[in-house]
Chain A
């Protein structure tokens, strides 16, 4: 029974990992920019939710009306004015990756520094919907369940958009081959900017959802960037549909491993799983070989 509860907790946690990674996979998989400042958008979303409930005494879910536009606009500006010059001068994807990693890593330091200066490095948290719910005899917190359902809804929405809309087909074409997509009349730069901005917004939303049950600080960003990157590489770069599943796998393995082996080893188990996948299947679990 305890094992089932551990599994369930891993499932819920993994849903969160999947959601966070979805945003990064939009940015890296479709827009082809590896954004290492991704976690800072997550932390930004979490902080805005925190201020919404603690300062303005409002429902933290309302914070998305502030955080989504900010994250979207900021990401869009970063793509248009910082990434486009790099894309223009890069001879190949490897060179672009190296430049993008350096610039976004610089942005990560800048954002984190600004957050530390303004909000200090203290651990923040608040209590919202922290009531127990019983499912098949296991007890879990309601906020985790709500966040998980939110993650599933967002992933489903994203899937529908990519699969059944005109913009979605354009984005899928860009994922497969940006040059060929341009040849058939798709405005690659406009679509990439849009999807990069959407990835940033998704990070802010997941920050809000996770902040309801995990405490965070101005320095938490990098941890989530890494988790997201691990999930993206596990799922396969550009495989948006597999991302949620890979996140859940990571969450379950982490949770069960921590319970069965040693809770102090969860991060080590995380990285061990990730490195194993990198060595055995570097293109990701959900790609056609």
Chain B
């Protein structure tokens, strides 16, 4: 741990500075900006959490909306009985536990089967909860009675995002992160080198799911009411997937880079031209696959190194 801190002093310094600036920002900007940043943080946290597992192992999951929705429902059900902080923690724990169950039963599926399974899982949970609410609860909606201010939600979400990004970075430097990447490269080889692949996969899948559930629960504080189609909306799964792939899943900061333009695009296009947003999103996919298959992150990194090298060599040449 101290070694990892010493080796990355600059990175950590920048991070702390950014965290302080962002935490104090609501004092200086409008309410609209706070709401906008909230959405941005949620997307960054989800994309990072997604990429932490799916980017490294190449198990493409469409279950983001399922864990996100589980978080929303956990908060909606429990917040009437327990303090908000506890309800948020409960969401993370339940997301983790559900993911362990799902992971143990499904992670032997590979490729398209896993993709379709996770999509089906979201639909199944969505339908069953919808049915339960109407049939047993006699009402499709749940109201959320919270007096948490937008600024407080902003700060909780900021903390959740930072935890996700830092956690994802920290794990990617650890033995667990190497094991995860080894699985992504070749699972059979990874198993032969002595990695307990099932344990690694399930643990990381559950960690990523628990971050998603936490984000869902935090965002739920903003909604006056929820229902199953709000909580388990598939577009979360897709938007998060695009953000992570656009940014590049091979760097821990890649999903962040991808989420920012995407949220900007959806903010300015989705409200006024929803159909054109869908077309733009589709073209986005196609462009990523053909022209930037590794995502933006490696591209940015290369440009940065080139700039730095040219800065260094120029004085020597002159």
Contact = CB atoms under 8 A, between A and B. Distances in A.
Contacts of A97: 111-112
Interface string A226-237: 100110010000
A271 B58 CA distance: 24
Q: Which of A110, A113, A275, A282 has the most CB of B within 10 A?
A: A113
A132 interface: no
Nearest to A120: B275
B131 A268 contact: yes
B264 interface: no
A265 B127 contact: yes
Nearest to A107: B282
A262 B135 contact: yes
Contacts of B117: 275, 278
A102 B282 contact: no
Contacts of A278: 106, 109, 113, 116-117, 120
Interface string A9-25: 00000000000000000
A101 interface: yes
A116 B285 contact: no
A131 B22 CA distance: 66
A61 to B, nearest CB: 31
Interface residues of B, number: 40
B113 A233 contact: yes
Contacts of A116: 275, 278
B115 interface: yes
A275 to B, nearest CB: 6
A90 to B, nearest CB: 11
A92 B221 CA distance: 45
Interface residues of A, number: 40
B230 interface: no
Contacts of B275: 113, 116-117
Given A98-B58, A113-B278, A271 B127 contact: yes
Q: Which of B116, B119, B131 has the most CB of A within 10 A?
A: B116
Interface string A23-41: 0000000000010000000
Nearest to B120: A271
A103 B58 contact: no
Contact of B60 (A93, A101, A110): A101
Contacts of A111: 282
A102 B112 CA distance: 11
A166 to B, nearest CB: 31
B121 interface: yes
Interface stretch (B7-15, B31-39, B286-294): B286-294
B144 interface: no
B276 interface: yes
Q: Which of A85, A106, A117, A274 has the most CB of B within 10 A?
A: A106
Contacts of A122: none
A34 B113 CA distance: 11
Interface of A: 34, 82, 85-86, 93-94, 97-99, 101-103, 105-114, 116-117, 226, 229-230, 233, 262, 264-265, 267-268, 271-272, 274-275, 278-279, 282
Given A117-B279, A233-B113, 17 more contacts: A99-B293, A102-B285, A102-B289, A103-B289, A103-B290, A105-B282, A106-B282, A109-B279, A109-B282, A110-B283, A116-B275, A116-B278, A233-B116, A271-B123, A271-B127, A278-B106, A278-B116
